[in-house]
Amino acid sequence: MSAYETLQLPGVAEEDPSGAARSPGASRGPADGTLTAPRGLDWAVLRAELDAEGVALTPPLLTDQQCAELRALFDDPTRFRSTVVMSRHRFGEGQYRCFTRPLPEVVQALRQQLYPPLARIANTWAERLGEPGFPAHHDGLVAACAAAGQHRPTPLLLRHGPGGYDCLHQDVYGDLTFPLQVEVMLDRPDEDFTGGESVFVEQRPRARSRPVVKRPQRGQALVFAVSGRPVRSARGHSRVMLRHGVSAVHSGHRHALGVIFHDAR
């Protein structure tokens, strides 16, 4: 077991084999990478929201201090393996920076401790679609990514200023794609920035696209499908595709942490 797995994250309740949430132990404070949310996640509720919409909103996972510390990392180029100016690739207006290893402690802890309950959801989805499942723990997914030639870490920080936006897209990065990801809001909507809503568009076969708009507060996270999810159909279950983006920021700056679980080629 790695040191990150031994950290207690009060905002991330562990799930027992029956699927019920249970609260982990007491926090040791933000300095060691733990979270200080007052209650654990209700995975039964999150699972139901993901099954219904492909998107779910959590209670706050990060403290104000942790959000500020992560925002400050954006201006330290030594912490990142790459920087993407979105306008150069017609991705939108803004920038994102992909972390290099070692990942910040909080980011690594989120990646490892959110993964097991998400893997249970992902494996249910895979079973419904008749597809291969995923390892129970994140280290197993990292090893599988490496075997597929995917070695580069994918967690990232995003920054959008006035007029910034993110075109609809999917964070695939390789042949092996874990079907769920997490984005944590690091700023205060309507105080640090205006606009900048999280936008999701689902395309079902022979139907018009369905938009979903979410507005997380600072420290809250969105859990959502990377590219697709199963929905019940006349023949059992069919895959529907989901893309995500960010609407235009009107004023201020919007920062978010993207926690993607598979590595990139």
Helix (H) or strand (E) holding 192: none
Per-residue pLDDT, 145:
98
**Residues 123, 198 contacting (CB under 8 angstroms):** no
Which of these, 241, 232, 202, lies nearest to 128 by C-alpha position?
232
Nearest CA to 15 out of 52, 40, 34 is that of 40
CA angle 224, 226, 232 (to 5 degrees): 75
pTM greater than 0.75 (yes/no) = yes
Q: Say if residues 196 and 247 touch (Cβ distance below 8 Å).
A: yes
Q: Which amino acid is residue 239, in one-letter code? A: R
Convert 86-147 into a string of H (helix), E (strand) and C (coil): HHHHCCEECEEEEECCCCCHHHHHHHHHHHHHHHHHHHHHHHHHCCCCCCCCHHHHHHHHHH
Find all residues with CB under 8 Å of 48, minimum gap 6, and list them: none
In one-letter notation, the amino acid at residue 28 is R
Q: Which portions of the chain are predicted below pLDDT 70?
A: 1-39
For residue 236, the number of C-alpha atoms closer than 13 Å in the C-beta half-sphere is 7
Per-residue pLDDT, 28: 32
Q: What is the pLDDT of residue 206?
A: 77
- Contact at 8 Å (CB) between 138 and 261? yes
Q: What's the pLDDT at 129?
A: 95
